[in-house]
Amino acid sequence: MSLPLMIADLESEQDSLDQVVADLDDATWRLATDSPGWTIADQISHLQFFDERAALAMTDPEAFVIDRQHLISSAPRDLSIELGRQVSADDLLRAWRDSRMALIFASQKVDPTVRVPWYGPSMAVKSFLTARLMECWAHGEDIARAVGVQRLPSNRLKHVAHIGVGARAFSLMINQLPEDSRSIRVELNAPDGELWGWGDDTSDQRVLGEALDFCLVVTQRRALSDSQLTVVGDSATTWMRIAQAFAGAPTRKS
């Protein structure tokens, strides 16, 4: 996929979430979500915070590195949710819209050959934007569930699934499990009926099912045991039980 199409998909994912939150009243913004201790406002605040820093990472990498050190030194305080707890819903929504548009603008101007600094290893631009789309989609699922909105899955899920597949080694590492070089074939039914595939198609280690189901599991919005995925083989089973598409310490949806 070209960089312009990747940017367009990210913007569409942001717009999809915006449609969910645009008309919520103040009380609804304070509803709890499935993320423990987080409200809808916290979820949007988190996205606003990191969209803003993603734009900074692409436009001024040196300033981002300084800001990153400030964030790390602030632990265990979670700076990403503080804005949402200090301002009105209208102001928070406006801040997120500004940040996400700054991210889109920065992604349109950045040299596509550079590597973008982040909180772990630096990333290629397309991978960096894929991660932002995954975050937006996953937090959007939390919000939609909290307000009882059923969002129709789109083919943008391929980005989320791709990151989920690519994060297998990371998932094993953060759970202190040994490296596993065995290929796993992942085959997913896309929302439009297409079949998406990753890995050696002759492998006896397999993950099969609906793309939405897979994406919910790898973003830990659904437990593997609650999914309809077919998982075959020891390597595939070990991975899918702890699969984690996002950075950070190991977490698991029970």
- Model confidence over 94-105: pLDDT tens digits? 999 999 999 999
CB atoms within 10 A of CB 194: 12
User: What percent of the chain has pLDDT above 90?
Assistant: 92
Q: Which domains does the chain have, with CATH numbers?
A: 3-147 (1.20.120.450), 157-242 (3.30.1050)
Residue 179, helix vs strand vs coil: coil
Interatomic CA distance for residues 69 and 211, integer angstroms: 37
- Model confidence over 140-149: pLDDT tens digits? 999 999 999 9
Cα separations in angstroms, 137 against 88, 115, 174, 194, 254 = 23, 23, 23, 20, 20
- Residue 179 tokens, joined: 């490296």
End-to-end Cα spacing for the chain: 35
Question: Predicted confidence band at 254 (pLDDT cuts at 50, 70, 90)?
Answer: very low
- pTM of the predicted model as reported, rounded to 2 decimal places: 0.94
Interatomic CA distance for residues 18 and 20, integer angstroms: 5
- Model confidence over 62-96: pLDDT tens digits? 999 999 999 989 888 899 999 999 999 999 999 99
Cβ burial of 28 (10 Å; 0-12, 13-18, 19+) is: middle
Q: Report which of 5, 10, 21 is spatially closest to residue 133, judged by C-alpha positions.
A: 10
Considering the chain, what is the average pLDDT of its residues?
95
Would you give the DSSP letter of residue 32?
B
Whether 28 shows a pLDDT value over 70: the answer reads yes
Interatomic CA distance for residues 238 and 233, integer angstroms: 9
Beta strands in 94-173, from DSSP E residues, in sequence order: 115-116, 123-124
Residue spans of alpha helices (H) in 22-123 = 26-29, 40-59, 61-73, 89-109
**Identity (one letter) of the amino acid at 190?**
A
Interatomic CA distance for residues 178 and 46, integer angstroms: 32
> What is the pLDDT at residue 247?
82
Question: Predicted confidence band at 252 (pLDDT cuts at 50, 70, 90)?
Answer: low
Interatomic CA distance for residues 162 and 140, integer angstroms: 18
Question: Predicted confidence band at 120 (pLDDT cuts at 50, 70, 90)?
Answer: confident
Residue 160 contacts residue 245 (beta carbons within 8 Å) = yes
Whether 133 shows a pLDDT value over 60: the answer reads yes
Question: Predicted confidence band at 161 (pLDDT cuts at 50, 70, 90)?
Answer: very high
Q: Which residues 6+ apart lie within 8 Å of 163 measured at CB? A: 130, 131, 134, 218, 245
